[in-house]
Chain A
Amino acid sequence: AQKVTQAQTEISVVEKEDVTLDCVYETRDTTYYLFWYKQPPSGELVFLIRRNSFDEQNEISGRYSWNFQKSTSSFNFTITASQVVDSAVYFCALSGGAAGNKLTFGGGTRVLVKP
């Protein structure tokens, strides 16, 4: 069975600080997909990134960056120079293998960026 663990339930930072969200996953499949979603207070989940298990390249998109390490089964997410608008709950998720399209979500990490 697939499992995603986000050990940090809540992180509070001051604006312009960097913040790293941890995500550790478990799966027996060799082909799988990892995702990050952002859920602002409005409630809608916003897709941020998808990464397949064969692509371990790190990715940077503006102030966002992701570090995928298969050796430690981790897919961590860093927000650089955080802004108040980054305040949200961030979910890491996993799909693939026997689960097909179904997403297994982590518990989420609430990020609060204070001005």
Chain B
Amino acid sequence: GAVVSQHPSRVICKSGTSVKIECRSLDFQATTMFWYRQFPKQSLMLMATSNEGSKATYEQGVEKDKFLINHASLTLSTLTVTSAHPEDSSFYICSASWDRGGPDTQYFGPGTRLTVL
């Protein structure tokens, strides 16, 4: 149980284009989804938290107009990197959890490696 998928697993795009990454909880309804970014040999950096049906909450320093997050249903959240540039190249990981009345375990997707040329 608690399986989270991400699509695509790897994407290469040209500078200036937009890229959409999907995160799905396959066997549970995720009340909250999180988006992280990870640079090589570094820890995970939380970008934003999204709850189904409401606007995402972004961490300090993360551009909300650059990284658009939509949590349209209890099983799907999307991250769109708009007008991507080489510095946006990174490993993006989502996680999902369900509310059981307190902080709950986050289950992570397999990640998406974005390369912007």
A residues at B contact (CB < 8 Å): 32-33, 35, 37, 42-47, 50, 91, 95-96, 99-103, 105-108, 110
Q: What per-residue 1/0 map shows which CB atoms of B62-90 lie under 8 Å from chain A?
A: 00000000000000000000000000000
Nearest A residue to B31 via CB reads A101
Chain B contacts of A47 at CB under 8 A? 2, 105-108
Query: In the complex the two chains form, is A107's CB within 8 Å of B108's CB?
Result: no
Query: In the complex the two chains form, is A108's CB within 8 Å of B106's CB?
Result: no
Query: In the complex the two chains form, is A103's CB within 8 Å of B91's CB?
Result: no
B25 at interface, CB cutoff 8 A: no
Nearest B residue to A35 via CB reads B105
B46 at interface, CB cutoff 8 A: yes
Query: In the complex the two chains form, is B46's CB within 8 Å of A101's CB?
Result: no
Report, as a range, how many residues of chain B touch the other chain. 20 to 34
Q: With both chains docked as a complex, state the minimum distance between the C-beta of A58 and any C-beta of chain B, in angstroms.
A: 19
Q: With both chains docked as a complex, state the minimum distance between the C-beta of A35 and any C-beta of chain B, in angstroms.
A: 7
Chain A contacts of B46 at CB under 8 A? 102-103
Query: In the complex the two chains form, is B49's CB within 8 Å of A102's CB?
Result: yes
Known: A44-B108, A45-B95, A99-B103. 14 other contacts (CB 8 A): A42-B110, A43-B110, A43-B111, A43-B113, A44-B109, A45-B44, A47-B2, A47-B107, A50-B105, A101-B34, A101-B97, A102-B46, A102-B49, A107-B42
Q: What per-residue 1/0 map shows which CB atoms of B42-68 lie under 8 Å from chain A?
A: 111010010000000000000000000
Query: In the complex the two chains form, is A105's CB within 8 Å of B49's CB?
Result: no
Nearest A residue to B110 via CB reads A44
Interchain residue pairs with CB less than 8 A apart (14): A32-B103, A33-B103, A35-B105, A44-B109, A44-B110, A44-B111, A45-B44, A95-B103, A101-B103, A101-B104, A102-B46, A107-B42, A107-B43, A108-B42
B93 at interface, CB cutoff 8 A: yes
Query: In the complex the two chains form, is A106's CB within 8 Å of B108's CB?
Result: no
